[in-house]
Amino acid sequence: MILVFGANSFIARNFVDHCEKNGIEYLGVGSTGNDTDIRNYRNTSYTSEDIGSLFSEYEFKKIYIFKSLVRRDILDSNEYKEVNVGILTNLIEAFKEQVVKEKFEIHHFSSAGRYSEKVKMNDHYLNSKKDQEDMLKNFNKSYKNKLFIHKLPNVIGPYDLNFSRITPFYLGSRLMEKDPSFETPLNEGRKFITINTLMDTLQETTYEDTYKEFEYSGDFDIDLAEYIDLLDQSFNYCIGGNKKNIESIENTKIRNHLNFVDWYIKNKKYVINKFNTWFNN
């Protein structure tokens, strides 16, 4: 069985769908309640005792840590350290008791690989993510369990409701009929990887080493202005009811995005509710 931490978060929720489709047994855990209807879900306080109790009920072969418990849009720099690092400390304490009985794989997902060392020095969020990596590396050295760190570019797909990110902010704004204005310079280049590519890569990769870092190159590298135009065209195709003509669209970038953009339109009420909550806070 696979243990999935932060199961309601964007990438993890897609991973849960991947497990469902492929008949992979999993337990999703989180601290925010099961608001995305995950079949096998457990709410947790993330204490070492709480996590330890899960190991007494299940035999986990793989553990996936997807989410930082505090997002980038939280302004208190100390909270990044206290929560992101503090909760991982609790997880590792629970892991220590179990790994002496039986080894298991740990997969940790990070965006830190996208940023320069200069940015990391001045970004409390990224510093907390880097601290998480270092803690897991030390655990790997001490206990010789398998550890795989996945460093990701910008991931795009359904379930992403972090409206401080460009893709959900743009689509949420369009659904709300608001003008999606951006403070980020639109001439910046970004690397993007679709969630389907990420899920396929995770499934196809052989994990034989005791420790390895995976740096994902992404599906495409694009200026933000061009990417927003791509989102705009994809949204207009979907909102216009032209989904049935996907295969006839010559632009492969638009064609490959339609399924993911369509999720926001199909779940319009849910997305707008989340957008309003974020926008008014």
Instruction: Sheet containing 189-194: give its strands across.
Output: 154-156, 189-194, 220-223
Q: State the average pLDDT over residues 149-172.
A: 92
Percent of the chain with pLDDT over 70: 85
Percent of the chain with pLDDT over 90: 38
* Cα R_g (the chain), whole angstroms: 19
Residues 6+ apart with CB under 8 A from 138: none
The whole-model pTM stands at: 0.87
In this prediction, residue 190 has a pLDDT band, given cuts at 50, 70 and 90, of confident
Q: State the average pLDDT over residues 81-97.
A: 84
**263 within 8 A of 175, measured Cβ to Cβ:** no
Q: State the average pLDDT over residues 56-85.
A: 72
Q: Determine the residue type at 77.
A: S
In this predicted structure, the answer to whether residue 150 has a pLDDT above a threshold of 90 is: yes
Q: What is the pLDDT of residue 243?
A: 56
Q: What is the pLDDT of residue 67?
A: 67
Q: What is the pLDDT of residue 72?
A: 46
Q: What is the pLDDT of residue 249?
A: 65
pLDDT digits (tens, 9 = 90+) for 97-107: 888 788 899 99
In this predicted structure, the answer to whether residue 90 has a pLDDT above a threshold of 60 is: yes
Q: State the average pLDDT over residues 21-50.
A: 86
Residues 3-26 as b/e (b if ≥16 CB within 10 A, e otherwise) read: bbbbbbbbbbbbbbbbbeeeeeeb
In this prediction, residue 123 has a pLDDT band, given cuts at 50, 70 and 90, of low
pLDDT digits (tens, 9 = 90+) for 221-274: 888 898 998 888 889 888 876 555 656 666 777 777 777 898 999 999 999 999
**Least confident window among 116-120, 125-129, 133-137:** 116-120
In this predicted structure, the answer to whether residue 70 has a pLDDT above a threshold of 60 is: no
Q: What is the pLDDT of residue 168?
A: 94
User: What tokens appear for 202 in the block?
Assistant: 């995770």
Q: State the average pLDDT over residues 79-90.
A: 78
Q: What is the pLDDT of residue 80?
A: 67
**Least confident window among 14-23, 107-116, 156-165:** 107-116
